[in-house]
Amino acid sequence: MTNTSTVRLPKGPGSKPNMFRSFARSFGVIWSNKKARIGVIILAVFVLAAIFGPLVAPYGATVNTFPRSANGSAEHWLGTTAAGEDVFSQLIYGARISVLVGVVAGGLATVVAVVIGLGWGYLRGFVSDTINFIVNLFLVIPALPLMIVIATYLQNGGITVIIVVIVITGWAWGARVLRSQTQSLRGRDFVIAARFSGDSAPRIIFREILPNMISIIASSFFGAATAAILAEAGLEFLGLGDSSIVSWGTMLYWAQNSSALLTGQWVLLFAPGLCIALLAMSLTLINFGVDVISNPRLRETGSRRRRGPKGTPTPTDQAGGDADRQFNEATEGADNVDVDVDVREVQQ
Amino acid sequence: MSEAVSDASVGPREGKYRAPILSSSLRYWLSKVGLFLLTLWAAVTLNFILPRLMPGSPADAAIAKLSQSGPVSAATKHAIEAQLGVPSGNIWQQYIEYLHQVVTLNFGVSYTFFPESVESLVMRALPYTITLVGITTIVAFIVGTLLGASAAWRRGTWRDTVPTLTGSFLSTFPYFWVALLLLFFLGYVAHLFPTSGAYAPTVEPNLSFSFFGDAIYHAILPAVTLFVTSLGGWILGMRNAMINTLGDDYITFAEANGLKGRTVALRYAARNAILPNLTGFGLALGGVVGGSILVEQVFGYPGVGYLLFNAVINQDFPLMQALFLMITLSVLVANFLVDILYGILDPRTHR
The pLDDT tens digits of the residues spanning B280-314 come to 888 888 888 877 888 898 898 888 999 988 888 88
> Both ends of chain A: CA-CA distance in Å?
38
Q: Looking at chain A, which residue has its C-alpha nearest residue B288?
A: A347
Query: Does pLDDT of A340 surpass 60?
Result: no
pLDDT-based confidence at residue B73 (cuts at 50, 70, 90): confident
pLDDT digit string, tens, across residues A237-291:
988 877 788 889 999 898 888 777 777 778 888 899 999 999 998 998 888 888 7
CA–CA distance, A121 with A100 (Å, rounded to integer): 30
- Model pLDDT for residues A132-157, shown as the tens digit of each residue: 888 888 887 888 888 888 887 776 66
pLDDT of residue A47: 93
Say if the Cβ atoms of A336 and B327 lie within 8 Å. no
- Tell me the residue ranges of DSSP E strands in B81-195: none
pLDDT of amino acid A112: 95
Q: Indicate yes or no: CB of A335 within 8 angstroms of CB of B276.
A: yes
Contact A303 B156 (CB under 8 A): yes
Predicted pLDDT of residue A167 = 92
Q: Looking at mean pLDDT, say which of A91-105, A135-149, B94-108 comes out highest.
A: A91-105
Q: Does A192 touch chain B (CB under 8 A)?
A: no
pLDDT at residue A1, rounded to an integer: 41
Q: According to the model, what pLDDT value does residue A313 have?
A: 37
Query: What is the predicted pLDDT for the residue at A45?
Result: 93
**What pLDDT is stored for residue A173 in this prediction?**
85
Q: Tens digits of per-residue pLDDT, A287-316?
A: 888 877 776 666 655 444 434 333 333 333
Rounded to 5°, the CA angle A275-A277-A278 comes to 65
Element (H, E) at B50: helix B24-53
Angle A121-A122-A126 (CA atoms, 0-180°, nearest 5)?
85
B30-43: per-residue pLDDT in tens? 888 888 898 889 88
Q: What is the least distance, in Å, from the CA of B79 to any CA of chain A?
A: 22
Residue B290's nearest CA partner among B305, B279, B306, B310 is B305
In the predicted model, is pLDDT for residue B12 greater than 50?
no
> ipTM of the assembly?
0.78
- The rounded distance, in Å, linking the Cα atoms of B107 and B123 is 13
pTM of the model: 0.79
Q: Tell me: the pLDDT tens digits for B120-173? A: 888 888 888 988 999 999 999 999 999 999 998 888 888 888 988 888 788 888
Contact between chains at A136 and B35 (C-beta distance less than 8 A): yes
Higher pLDDT, A66 or B45: B45
Q: How far apart are CA B218 and CA B275, in angstroms?
A: 34
Q: Is the pLDDT of residue A225 over 90?
A: yes
Give the percent of chain B with pLDDT over 90: 9
B122 burial type by CB count under 10 A (0-12 exposed, 13-18 middle, 19+ buried) = buried
pLDDT exceeds 90 at position A186: no
Structure confidence by residue, pLDDT tens digits, B182-215 = 888 888 888 888 877 778 777 777 777 778 888 8
Q: Dihedrals φ, ψ of A86, to 5°? A: -80, 120
The predicted pLDDT at position B18 comes to 55
First-residue to last-residue Cα distance in chain B? 19
CB neighbours (10 Å) of residue A300? Answer: 15
pLDDT value at residue B62: 66
Answer yes or no: are the C-beta atoms of B3 and B283 closer than 8 Å.
no
Taking an 8 Å cut-off on Cβ atoms, the answer to whether A136 and B39 are in contact is yes
Task: Please list the helix, strand and coil fractions of chain B in percent, rounded to the nearest 5, in that order.
Answer: 75, 0, 25
**Amino acid found at A159:** I
The CA distances from residue A233 to A152, A247, A276, in Å, are 16, 8, 8
Contacts of A261 in chain B (CB under 8 A): 180, 183-184, 188, 195
Secondary structure in 3-state letters for chain A: CCHHHCCCCCCCCCCCCCHHHHHHHHHHHHHHCHHHHHHHHHHHHHHHHHHCHHHHCCCCCCCCCCCCCCCCCCCCCCCECCCCCEHHHHHHHHHHHHHHHHHHHHHHHHHHHHHHHHHHHHCCCHHHHHHHHHHHHHHHCCHHHHHHHHHHHCCCCCHHHHHHHHHHHHCHHHHHHHHHHHHHHHCCHHHHHHHHCCCCHHHHHHHHHHHHHHHHHHHHHHHHHHHHHHHHHHHHHCCCCCCCCCCHHHHHHHHHHCCHHHHCCHHHHHHHHHHHHHHHHHHHHHHHHHHHHHCHHHCCCCCHHHCCCCCCCCHHHHCCCHHHHHHHHHHHHCCCHHHHHHHHHHHC
Please report the pLDDT score of residue A348 as a whole number. Answer: 34
- For residue A270, which residues of chain B lie inside 8 Å, CB to CB? 181
B9 touches chain A (CB under 8 A): yes
> Chain B closest CA to A324's CA: distance in Å?
16
**Structure confidence at residue B341 as a pLDDT band (50, 70, 90):** confident
* pLDDT at residue B68 tops 70: no
Task: Place A213 in a pLDDT band, splitting at 50, 70 and 90.
Answer: confident
Q: Is A340 touching B (CB cutoff 8 A)?
A: yes
Q: Indicate the DSSP class of residue B247.
A: T
The confidence score (pLDDT) of residue B10 equals: 43
Cα–Cα distance measured from residue A80 to residue B23, given in angstroms and rounded to the nearest whole number: 70
The pLDDT assigned to B87 comes to: 61
Nearest residue to A221 via CA among A143, A117, A305, A147 = A117
Judge: A238–B293 Cβ closer than 8 Å, yes or no.
yes
- Interface A-B, measured as beta-carbon pairs within 8 A, has a size of 211
Interchain proximity B177–A269, CB inside 8 Å: yes
Q: Which of B53, B157, B308 sits opposite A303 (nearest CB)?
A: B157
Helix (H, G, I), strand (E, B) or coil at B193: coil
- Residues B168, A139: C-beta atoms closer than 8 Å: no
- Interface mutation target, options A131, A339, A340, chain B, most CBs of B under 10 Å: A339
User: Across chain B, what does the average pLDDT equal?
Assistant: 80
Average pLDDT over residues A84-101: 88
Residue B1: which of A234, A252, A340 has the nearest Cβ? Answer: A340
pLDDT at B142: 94
Look up residue B204 and give its DSSP letter.
P
Looking at the complex, does the CB of residue A127 fall below 8 Å from at least one CB of chain B? no
- Contacting residues of A for B178, CB less than 8 Å apart: 273
Q: Are A291 and A41 in contact (CB under 8 A)?
A: no
pLDDT digits (tens, 9 = 90+) for B206-240: 777 778 888 888 889 999 999 998 898 899 889 98
Q: Is the pLDDT of residue A233 over 80?
A: yes
Instruction: Provide the pLDDT confidence category of residue A332 given band limits of 50, 70 and 90.
Output: very low
For the cut 50, the answer to whether the pLDDT of residue B247 exceeds it is: yes
Question: Per-residue confidence at B83, pLDDT binned at 50, 70, 90?
Answer: low
Write the burial class of residue B97 (CB in 10 Å: 0-12 exposed, 13-18 middle, 19+ buried). Answer: middle
CB atoms near residue A13 (< 10 Å): 6
- B293 to chain A: which residues are within 8 Å by CB? 144-145, 148, 238
pLDDT score for B21:
58
Q: How many CA atoms lie within 13 Å of B171's alpha carbon, on the beta-carbon side?
A: 29
Query: In the structure, what pLDDT confidence band is assigned to residue A322 with cuts at 50, 70 and 90?
Result: very low
Contact A179, A119 (CB under 8 A): no
C-alpha angle B36-B105-B305 in degrees, rounded to nearest 5: 80
B133 vs B350, residue with greater confidence: B133
Share of chain B above pLDDT 70, in %: 84
pLDDT attached to residue A122: 87
Residue A183's pLDDT band, with cuts at 50, 70 and 90, is: confident
